[in-house]
Amino acid sequence: MIAPQSRRRRALPAAPRAALALAAAAAAAAPGEAFPATSGVCTFSIPGRGVVYDLEAFRGKVFPYDDPQTRTSYVVSLCSNANGYLCGGRPSAVVMLARGAGSACVSSFGRSENASVTLLAEDPAAGIRLSFSAGSACPSSPGGTQTATLNLACDASQPTAVITSVRRVPPCELELYAAAAEGCGRTVTQVVDQPSTGWFALLGVLGGVAVYLGGGVAYKRAVRGATGVEALPNIDTWRWLAAGVSRALGRAAAPAATDYGALPAAEDEDYYAGAGAPPAAGRNFSIS
């Protein structure tokens, strides 16, 4: 991280100006749909595009730029507000400084918690735009605040972000241009859940039942004039099956009873053999 008191380096003239110019033109032609950027988060995904922009390499860093046309400097923090640079007692993500005055803030151009992200162009590989709002009060627009937009173009040969130019857009906007490999994004595979074979089998069974019932009812109504329950196909077979199931369930639910059979008749001499004839009704007997 570059300390607030450290000397800020001037942008190199060898920066990829052509790529930045193309990105700027694309930004003006197709800004895209904005979605919020979460403060402190350095990874952004574009909904429905399968592209992720990972700026974690920039976490905790500030990127300086000395404007060669004016006696002002800028510092930018991409993932959170820049620590050590206070504007009105609050840290900001984009700060304009007075050259030679250390970290003294001249104006804030937005805070990270008020950021949003858009694509530079229809092609996600072109880069992204990070927009910041809720900066200092705008002198030329009563009630308005200063804002900033960082156009981060894709440059696979640039290992870290380098701010190459800054321009003021009246009345209250600051446009910054940079390039880095992180602006290219990376494609992620979107996994789409597919129905299992079991679901297809179930849908097939339900479809067959619907065709069977619908076709059978239509046939019996048209050919036999059946109505109500009688119009169901194979109604007699279903009634027979239902009755059989009912009988089976009834037997299973009934309590089990032990059947010892009927007592032998009194005339069955073989049964009483050796024990004498059965006693006559009303007479006592004993077995000794």
What is the per-residue pLDDT across 236-273, written as a single tens digit (0 to 9) for each?
888 888 888 888 888 877 665 555 555 555 555 554 45
Report the CATH number that the domain containing residue 35 is assigned in CATH: 2.70.130.10
- Reading phi first (left if > 0) and then psi (alpha if -120 to 50, else beta), residue 66 is in beta
C-alpha distances out from residue 227 to 55, 131, 232, 234, 287, Å: 71, 70, 9, 14, 75
The C-alpha angle with vertex 184 and arms to 183 and 187, in degrees rounded to 5, equals 130
Cα–Cα distance, 247 to 89 (Å, whole number): 87
**One domain, residues 207 and 103:** no
pLDDT at 122 over 70: yes
Cα–Cα distance, 152 to 20 (Å, whole number): 8
Q: How would residue 279 be classed by pLDDT, with cut points 50, 70 and 90?
A: low
**One domain, residues 201 and 220:** yes
Q: Are 65 and 73 in contact (CB under 8 A)?
A: yes
**Other residues' Cβ atoms within 10 Å of the Cβ of residue 90:** 13
**One domain, residues 108 and 172:** yes
**One domain, residues 49 and 178:** yes
Cα–Cα distance, 148 to 74 (Å, whole number): 11
Instruction: Give residue 235's pLDDT.
Output: 83
The answer to whether residue 157 sits within a structural domain is yes
The answer to whether residue 101 sits within a structural domain is yes
**One domain, residues 213 and 169:** no
**One domain, residues 161 and 33:** yes
C-alpha distances out from residue 77 to 104, 207, 210, 247, Å: 16, 60, 63, 81
Average pLDDT over the chain reads 74
Q: Are 3 and 100 in contact (CB under 8 A)?
A: no
Q: How would residue 278 be classed by pLDDT, with cut points 50, 70 and 90?
A: low
**Other residues' Cβ atoms within 10 Å of the Cβ of residue 264:** 12
pLDDT at 101 over 90: no
Q: What CA dihedral angle connects 262, 264, 266 and 270, to 10 degrees? A: 180
**One domain, residues 98 and 163:** yes
The answer to whether residue 227 sits within a structural domain is yes
**One domain, residues 207 and 91:** no
Mean pLDDT value across residues 191-219: 78
pLDDT at 46 over 80: no
Greater model confidence, 168 or 33: 168
> For 123-132, how does the pLDDT look when each residue is reduced to its tens digit (9 = 90+)?
888 999 989 9
Mean pLDDT value across residues 8-32: 37
3-state SS, residue 198: helix
The answer to whether residue 284 sits within a structural domain is no
The answer to whether residue 255 sits within a structural domain is no
Mean pLDDT value across residues 172-182: 91
Most confident among 96-100, 160-164, 179-183, 262-266 (mean pLDDT): 179-183
Cα–Cα distance, 131 to 150 (Å, whole number): 6
The answer to whether residue 48 sits within a structural domain is yes
Q: Which domain holds residue 197?
A: 193-234
**One domain, residues 154 and 222:** no
pTM here? Answer: 0.53
The answer to whether residue 275 sits within a structural domain is no
pLDDT at 214 over 60: yes
Q: In what order do the strands lie in the sheet with 186-187?
A: 43-46, 51-54, 186-187
**One domain, residues 215 and 107:** no
Whether omega before 64 lies within 30 degrees of 0, making that bond cis, reads no
Q: Which of 187, 221, 251 is the last residue of a domain?
A: 187
Mean pLDDT value across residues 35-59: 72
**One domain, residues 47 and 183:** yes
pLDDT at 27 over 70: no
**One domain, residues 33 and 170:** yes
Tally of structural domains, the chain:
2
Mean pLDDT value across residues 6-23: 37
Instruction: Give residue 49's pLDDT.
Output: 72
| Residue 17 Cα to chain centre, angstroms | 37
The answer to whether residue 260 sits within a structural domain is no
Q: Which of 153, 171, 187 is the last residue of a domain?
A: 187
Cα–Cα distance, 38 to 53 (Å, whole number): 14
Alpha-carbon radius of gyration of the chain: 44
